[in-house]
A = this chain, B = another copy of it.
Amino acid sequence: MSVGEHVTIREVSLRDGLQIEAPIPLSAKLALLEAIVATGVREIEATAFVSPSKVPALADAAALAAELPRFRESHGVEFSALVAGPGGAHRAVAAGMGSIEYVVSAADGHSQANVGRSTAVSTDLIADIARIAHDGGASVEVIVATAWDCPFDGPTDPGRVLDVVTAAAEIGADRIAIADTIGTATPGRVSTLVGLLGPIVGDLPFGAHFHDTRGAGLASAYAAVTAGIRRLDASAGGLGGCPFAPGASGNIATEDLVYLLRDSDIGTDVDLPAAIRAADVARTVVGHDLPSALLRAGDRILG
């Protein structure tokens, strides 16, 4: 890694951040979206087209999608939506989403719990999802969940992640990402896995997604960048807590990540003061405190 590198941050507070929160009105989501767009971020995960009964907080996916074209036109932001299968992909494309994220869990235990399918079956569906996305003029990103550990199966064999990534690259995914779904990754394991997958991912855009459940989220993100990753998910305020560890395990906070990268001479699209303001809006719309460090401590004191 050399000074002057650039990392693309994808803001995920509207999807991963809100998905386990009590549902908030569309107007509140749009207020958060306004604040996020003002940070300069170029990519936003806006919602998920999944079962409204399973994820009531994102049941308004189509209504939210209808609001996105004006932000796309005014700010040139690219919006994505997560899907769990072909049905969601069809709905996302129909709603005008230009970018689809399809999640495949590398661990069977999490895959079964999450979507009721094995990793192999979910991997076979990549071709269908890609066809649906591409036919609808959308790009498709394959996100490999439980890339390091599974809450049911324990440590994930890196070979299983490699298999999913290999399939995704061969089938025609436009982007690939690996996700630390339960917030257990650490820098050493991140370096190892990114190094293993890099040659398979090749020239495709390659991203990573971390949670800060065990304090190592930012360290893992920085290790990913050091190992060659140039795309990171992050969430305003660190929104995205886990029900069994309140206040402690959100996504890595966008503003904390931007601070760390800026001071390590790595550029992002995100303006730090605007990101701190967006974190404040995130805190307001959900109505509780968030794990963000910068939201409490602010930028470093300059004499």
Contact = CB atoms under 8 A, between A and B. Distances in A.
A263 B189 contact: yes
A294 interface: yes
A296 interface: yes
Interface stretch (A26-34, A86-94, A112-120, A149-157): A149-157
A188 B1 CA distance: 10
A226 B245 CA distance: 30
Chain A interface size range = 35 or more
Interface of A: 109, 149-155, 182-184, 186-189, 212-216, 218-219, 221-223, 245, 248-249, 253, 256, 259-260, 263-266, 292-294, 296-297, 300-303
A143 to B, nearest CB: 20
A121 B182 CA distance: 51
8 contacts: A150-B303, A153-B303, A154-B302, A155-B303, A182-B301, A189-B263, A212-B215, A216-B256
Contacts of A214: 256, 259-260, 293-294, 297, 300
Contact of A248 (B151, B154, B184, B296): B296
